Chains A and B, each alone.
Chain A
Amino acid sequence: MIDLLIALVWIVLKILLIALPLLGAVAYMTLAERKILAYAHVRIGPNRVGFAGLLQPLADGLKLFFKEIIIPSKANPVVFVLAPIVSFATAAAAWAVIPFDEGWVLANVNAGLLYVLALTSLGVYGILMAGWSSNSKYALFGAMRSAAQVVSYEIAMGFALVGVLMAADSTNLQDIVLRQQGGLWHWYWLPLLPLFVVYWISGVAETNRAPFDMAEGEAEIVAGFHVEYSGMSFAIFFLAEYANMILISALASVLFLGGWLSPFEGIPVLGSLFSFVPGIIWFFAKMAFFLFLYVWLRATLPRYRYDQIMYLGWKVLIPVTIVWIVVTGLLIEWRVAPWFI
């Protein structure tokens, strides 16, 4: 009984160890996004709260925390309240299988990749529930658009992941990273380059971020599915969106950029020069790169039209992945060095 209790406390501690930094990362991601966008627009961005604006996320959080949560009178209150919770829960639960360093993973399950796919596919329900329960035209439109978009891009994303699990011969995320040992040129981004690009594009679409932010589309459907949300319930949607962005970035680095592995592994001078850097720093650096890419895309590209999004998903990305899965099969069959020996 005591053993059980200790195990339970240990698991809760580990969960906190992942969840609290995640919340911190989300908070500072919002600041980073505003700063990067500002510099892209040749502005300065938030710089009033704290030193160089560093306390801005705290101020925003406090503001949202003290705002009233309004539930529209014609809304379905139970589903309305559940929607943001579902959104955030699925975004947070997927973190259980992400390996931060060798052995640093909450649950080292065999079917890790499938688990991640299953949970990210659940995320759409938060949006659908919000859109339906708000009992508002704009919210329903936003939810429908987003549901169709997420379901379509999930196929492309799933196919891209099929390529990875073919290459790694495993669905365990830690094994996938360990298969990529040997420096920058041994990572899967190179042999699976088209899948990597497709994965990234569909990741951006899955999280409903610019240029695929049709679900929000503030110019046409006000703010999409969360138009009726205020205060903390809105903040939880916000948290979920950013947690999903960070998750997609983490997955991209695990699957295609060798997770915690150093890029200079096996390179004569640089390899030993950088061998002191712990793996988790490399992992965070790769994640930061992808998160920067997210903001960069938002600053650069205009929003897609809805039918163009669907066209891109079904008629460009899915055919590309199918072709490259066949190519990957051939590469594995011919044992092309250095990836598939």
Chain B
Amino acid sequence: MIEKLIFYVFAALLIGSATMVIVSRQSVRAAFFLIVAFCASAVLWMLLSAEFLALLLIFVYVGAVMTLFMFVVMMLNLDQESLQEKFVRYLPFAVLLVALMVGVLVYAMKPGHLGELGLAISPHPSADYSNTKALGLLLYTHYVYAFELAAVILLIAIVAAIGLTHREKSRNKRQRIDAQLAATKADRLQILQLEAEK
């Protein structure tokens, strides 16, 4: 009963905020609604007793990735009007496509089509079941190579992001020793022949 209530409230919140993300005229507003969508789906994942991933979603996505988004959106100060001019033009096409796709997916997911899974009730693991432990046991045994690969991908992302955006400071006052040593008398000293005053 309570589970159902929580599910419907947060599913509605998730879909509502996802809609707001795609129709917002301001990027900052879209980012705020995306955060709400992430939080709502974290609650849904909690309901599915995937608490590790739910908290990871909030910690990594809402806490770090979305902060990055906000940072970029606030810093760039984008010209909103020009970006939205053709907003309506593609709307009918989008609505048609989405209605078609969601319709097909929903039809395919009818409980009857899922076999006995469709009739299963959501499982409630016992109190001493630790989702974190179960994931850890799998991650560090069967999937350890994939785990290492994910780490390498993240490292590449760090290097790439810094490499792409880093630029030398324009008002850099660093001492250039090679330039100082290479300097000759001719570079620094200019002897002017002034005409003597008469």
Q: Do A and B come from one complex?
A: yes
Which residues of the other chain, A, contact B75 by a CB distance below 8 angstroms? 144
Majority secondary structure of chain A interface residues (helix, strand, loop or mixed): helix
Per-position binary interface string of chain B over residues 42-63, scored 1 when its CB falls under 8 Å from any chain A CB and 0 otherwise: 0000000001100110110011
Given A111-B131, A114-B132, the answer on whether A148 and B62 have CB atoms closer than 8 Å is: no
Q: How far is the CB of B171 from chain A (nearest CB, A)?
A: 13
Which residues of the other chain, B, contact A148 by a CB distance below 8 angstroms? 71
Cβ B63 vs Cβ A154 within 8 A: yes
Which residues of the other chain, A, contact B64 by a CB distance below 8 angstroms? 121, 151, 154
Within 8 A of B (CB), among A49-86: 79
Residue of A nearest to B52 (CB): A111
Question: A147 to B63, alpha carbons, bound, how many Å?
Answer: 10
Within 8 A of B (CB), among A295-340: none
Per-position binary interface string of chain B over residues 28-42, scored 1 when its CB falls under 8 Å from any chain A CB and 0 otherwise: 100010010000000
Tell yes or no: B67 within 8 A of A by CB.
yes
Residue of A nearest to B2 (CB): A4
Which residues of the other chain, A, contact B55 by a CB distance below 8 angstroms? 111, 114-115, 117-118
Question: A133 to B158, alpha carbons, bound, how many Å?
Answer: 30
Tell yes or no: A122 within 8 A of B by CB.
yes
Which residues of the other chain, A, contact B28 by a CB distance below 8 angstroms? 132
Residue of B nearest to A165 (CB): B132
Question: A158 to B63, alpha carbons, bound, how many Å?
Answer: 12
Given A110-B130, A110-B132, the answer on whether A144 and B71 have CB atoms closer than 8 Å is: yes
**Which one, B52, B59, B70, contacts A128 given CB within 8 A?**
B70
Q: How far is the CB of A114 from chain B (nearest CB, A)?
A: 4
Residue of B nearest to A117 (CB): B59
Per-position binary interface string of chain A over residues 135-177, scored 1 when its CB falls under 8 Å from any chain B CB and 0 otherwise: 0000010011001100100100010000000000001000000
Which residues of the other chain, B, contact A128 by a CB distance below 8 angstroms? 67, 70, 74
Question: A132 to B29, alpha carbons, bound, how many Å?
Answer: 11
Cβ A111 vs Cβ B63 within 8 A: no
Question: A121 to B35, alpha carbons, bound, how many Å?
Answer: 12
Interface size on A, residues (CB 8 A): 27
Cβ A125 vs Cβ B58 within 8 A: no
Q: How far is the CB of B6 from chain A (nearest CB, A)?
A: 14
**Which one, B56, B67, B74, contacts A114 given CB within 8 A?**
B56
Cβ A118 vs Cβ B58 within 8 A: yes
Tell yes or no: A124 within 8 A of B by CB.
yes
Cβ B51 vs Cβ A124 within 8 A: no
Residue of A nearest to B129 (CB): A110
Q: How far is the CB of A83 from chain B (nearest CB, A)?
A: 11
Which residues of the other chain, A, contact B71 by a CB distance below 8 angstroms? 144, 147-148
Residue of B nearest to A169 (CB): B133
Which residues of the other chain, A, contact B74 by a CB distance below 8 angstroms? 128, 131-132, 140, 143-144
Cβ A124 vs Cβ B67 within 8 A: yes
Q: How far is the CB of B111 from chain A (nearest CB, A)?
A: 28
Question: A79 to B33, alpha carbons, bound, how many Å?
Answer: 12
Residue of A nearest to B74 (CB): A132
Question: A111 to B132, alpha carbons, bound, how many Å?
Answer: 7
Question: A79 to B70, alpha carbons, bound, how many Å?
Answer: 14
**Which one, B63, B70, B132, contacts A122 given CB within 8 A?**
B63
Cβ A171 vs Cβ B67 within 8 A: no
Question: A109 to B52, alpha carbons, bound, how many Å?
Answer: 11
Question: A79 to B62, alpha carbons, bound, how many Å?
Answer: 17
Per-position binary interface string of chain B over residues 124-144, scored 1 when its CB falls under 8 Å from any chain A CB and 0 otherwise: 000000111000000000000
Which residues of the other chain, B, contact A115 by a CB distance below 8 angstroms? 55
Cβ A151 vs Cβ B67 within 8 A: yes
Per-position binary interface string of chain B over residues 88-104, scored 1 when its CB falls under 8 Å from any chain A CB and 0 otherwise: 00000000000000000
Which A residues lie at the B interface, using CB under 8 A? 4, 79, 109-111, 114-115, 117-119, 121-122, 124-125, 128-129, 131-132, 140, 143-144, 147-148, 151, 154, 158, 171
Known: A117-B55, A171-B132. 4 other contacts (CB 8 A): A111-B131, A111-B132, A118-B59, A151-B67
27 CB-based A-B contacts, threshold 8 Å? A4-B2, A114-B51, A114-B55, A114-B132, A117-B55, A118-B55, A118-B58, A118-B59, A118-B63, A121-B58, A121-B59, A124-B63, A124-B67, A132-B28, A132-B70, A132-B74, A140-B74, A144-B71, A144-B74, A147-B67, A151-B63, A151-B64, A151-B67, A151-B68, A154-B63, A158-B59, A171-B132
- Give me the 6 closest cross-chain CB pairs, A-B, nearest first: A121-B63, A118-B58, A114-B55, A118-B59, A118-B55, A111-B51
